Amino acid sequence: MKDEYDLSRGQRGKFHRPNAMLNPPVHLDPEVLAFLTERAAARGVTLNELVNALLKKDIELIEAAE
């Protein structure tokens, strides 16, 4: 690593995108992942579709309870 770097020509915010959406990674426990993968295959849907459907149902239940 250099002792000093010349940042005089740098531009602040050059790559900033104000409307960019970040998709955080979701890490599942191995047994949960195995179960959901098996269920998704049995239903003929992707794991992503199954997890989103389950979460949407949970959101509906939470909102109904409020």
Residue 57 lies in a domain: yes
> Residue 16 class from Cβ within 10 Å (0-12 exposed, 13-18 middle, 19+ buried)?
exposed
Count structural domains, the chain: 1
Tokens found for residue 11: 């531009």
Q: How confident is the model at residue 65 (pLDDT cuts 50, 70, 90)?
A: very high
The residue type at 29: D
Residue 58 lies in a domain: yes
DSSP 6: -
For residue 34, what are the domain limits?
A: 30-65
pLDDT (0 to 100) of residue 58: 98
Residue 18 lies in a domain: no
pLDDT tens across 17-37, in order?
999 998 899 999 999 999 999
